[in-house]
A and B are shown apart, each in its own frame.
Chain A
Amino acid sequence: MNRRMASFALLVGIMTIASVAFAHHGTANYDTSKTVTVKGSVTDFQFINPHVLIVMDAKDEGGKIEKWQGELTSPNRLSRNGWTKSSIKLGDTITISGYPTKSGSTEIWIQKVVLASGEELPTGNGN
């Protein structure tokens, strides 16, 4: 269905140590043994508690638009890593990587955000 996704052994190795332990809720919804990567255009960015949300449109391999939702950590933690509510703007093309849902839905627990410029925004894993 979706060849866009990729996984990174190195990234998963780091994240297993650093981030799983800290979240407002648990990992039941996500498969933290896997990582997916999705590139798309941001349609919504909510800098809200308890977790910051990114919604984006991404094309699957057939060119069909899929809506992806991703959650990050808290805005407080992201603020301490330099984020503001304007760090991502509607229409921005970004690449997100993180844990997929166990159900296979188009949602992701974001661990990495890369802007179109190539700049990576720190997601505060492990503080």
Chain B
Amino acid sequence: MRSHVKGLILSGVGMLVFSSGLRAQMGQQAGAAKAPAVSAPAPVHDLSGVWNMRATPAQRKFLGSTYTQEGPDMTAWSKAKYDSAKPSNGPRSNALKVTDDPVLRNCLPPGTPRIYLQPFPLQFVQTPKEVIILYEYDHTVRHIFIDGRPHPADVTPTYMGHSIGKWEGDTLVVDTTGFNDKTWLDRDGHQHSDQLHVVERFHRVDRDNMQVDVTMEDPKALAKPWITQLNFQLKPDWDIMELACTDNAAFEDFEK
């Protein structure tokens, strides 16, 4: 045992004493930063720009791996799969050599909406035909068709699904279906099937802040819809950069 253990124990006591006060302090600071005193009004029907997800103080302890503190109401089918999953993140965290997270193990596209839990920014690009979301994580792209088309009658299952959108007032409502069942709903190992249906409601609160209300439905995996709200902050000075999943493989040997 290392000789610094005693010091660590003392520091741990100190942490217990001070952390609650710090949490309160940090929460106040974060809350103040999240809602700037002055922000210009949101442009009309325009989500263009680079955005970064920002956890609310209440979300900080879980949003790195999942959407809600309590998790989804699972069916027996998905609960069994969840129980046997070996995630790398969250409370059941496993080492990289052990995890069977399809994103970390095989570099599969994260799926929708899990892509938001990959901790990197995203960019909206709009044309009359579609809203394009460029996610920094592993060059992932979604095309959200806003030209009035329906989902294809016999849609080909994909990782990110087939998305169509329409403006309802100042909210872009995006309906996504046509998923395969190769990915997880989150980084905790919660499961979905090819019957997953996701609705995202993108609402730009003002120029600098956007709320996204997400509803996940899956009759095979979820006993009732799983609902969450994600918050994003505009980053005018940021550019989307390269981030290749294949580089992760080198890190399996780093952990000892």
Contacts and interface: CB of A to CB of B under 8 A. Distances in A.
Interface of A: 1-3, 5-10, 12-14, 16-18, 20-29, 33-36, 48-51, 53, 69, 71, 74, 76-77, 79-80, 101, 103-105, 107, 127
A25 B7 contact: no
B96 interface: yes
B214 interface: no
A34 B10 CA distance: 11
Contacts of A74: 120, 243
A57 B26 CA distance: 35
Interface stretch (B57-65, B73-81, B200-208): B57-65
B256 A17 contact: no
- B contact patch SS: loop
Interface string B63-100: 11100000000000000000000011110011110110
Contacts of A80: 238
Interface string B129-157: 00000001000000000000000000000
B22 A6 contact: no
B64 A21 contact: yes
B15 A13 contact: yes
Contacts of A36: 4
B233 to A, nearest CB: 9
A110 B55 CA distance: 22
Given A26-B99, A107-B256, 11 more contacts: A9-B12, A10-B18, A17-B23, A20-B64, A21-B63, A23-B89, A28-B88, A34-B11, A103-B256, A105-B256, A107-B254
Contacts of B64: 20-23
A17 B31 CA distance: 14
A53 B15 CA distance: 28
Contacts of A48: 247, 250
Nearest to B249: A50
A5 B14 contact: no
A49 B250 CA distance: 9
A26 B12 contact: no
B2 A6 contact: no
B94 to A, nearest CB: 5
Nearest to B137: A24
B19 interface: yes
B119 A22 contact: yes
B244 interface: yes
B89 to A, nearest CB: 4
B89 A26 contact: yes
Q: Which of A17, A25, A33 has the most CB of B within 10 A?
A: A25
B241 interface: yes
Contact of A29 (B17, B26, B95, B241): B95
A96 B14 CA distance: 21
Contacts of B211: none
Contacts of B118: 24
Contact of A26 (B54, B87, B247, B248): B87
A71 B22 contact: no
B108 to A, nearest CB: 14
Contact of A2 (B2, B12, B187): B2
